[in-house]
Amino acid sequence: MEAIQEHKGLVYPLDRTNVDTDQIIPKQFLKRIERTGFGQFLFFNWRFDNDGKLREEFPLNQPKYQNASILLAGENFGCGSSREHAPWALSDFGFKVVIAPSFADIFYNNALKNGIVPIKMEESQINEWMQKAKDTIFVLWVDLKHQQITDDEGKVIDFNIPEYHKEKLLNGWDDIALTLLQEDKILEYENSRN
C-alpha cells in the first residue's frame, strides 16, 4: 500500500447521498481476482449508457474533472453491501481521498485498509466546497499528519481519523505489512517449535 502523508488534488463533487457500493462498482464486475482493473467500472451505470458509451452529462466524464483525486460526496457514502471492491475501484480510478458527512461503517474501514483516506466533514462545509467544485477547478490540500485540509482560499479545517489507521496510512502499511513488522518474533516462535 502506498504511504500517504499529504495530498493535493483536484476535487470531484458527487452531489448525491446514500451512494451504495453497487453504484460505486456494480456486481457484474466483481469476478476479477486481482485488486486492480476495477477503476474502469467505477460508477458504471452513471458513467455509461446501455450501449456502453460515456454519458457526457455525467460530470465525472467531463474534461474538467479528468485526474480528480479527491471525491466529495453526500451523507452515508458507501452504504449497502460490504464489498471491498468499492475502495479498490475508487483507488484504481485515481481517488486518494473521499470527504463526506458520514460513511457506512464497513466501507469506511475497507477504505482505510486499502489506502484511501475517508474524511468525515460537516455537511455545511461539504456543501460550500461542492459548489466551488461545480463552478470552477477546485483543489484541496490534505495533510494527514496534522489532520488538516486547506482550501484554495487558505481556510484550514481540522478533521479526525483514528490514530491506528492514521499510522497505517502514513507508513503505507496494509494488514500484511503490519504483521510483517513482527517478522522477527514470528520466526523466533517458529524456530522454537522445531
pLDDT, tens digit, 9 for 90 and up, residues 58-68 = 999 999 999 99
Question: Would you call 46 exposed, middle or buried from its count of C-beta atoms within 10 A (0-12, 13-18, 19+)?
Answer: middle
Q: What tens digit of pLDDT does each residue of 135-152 get?
A: 999 999 999 999 999 999
* pLDDT at residue 1, as a whole number: 86
Question: For the whole model, what pTM was predicted?
Answer: 0.91
What is the side-by-side order of every strand in the sheet holding 156-158? 117-120, 97-100, 70-73, 6-14, 139-143, 148-150, 156-158
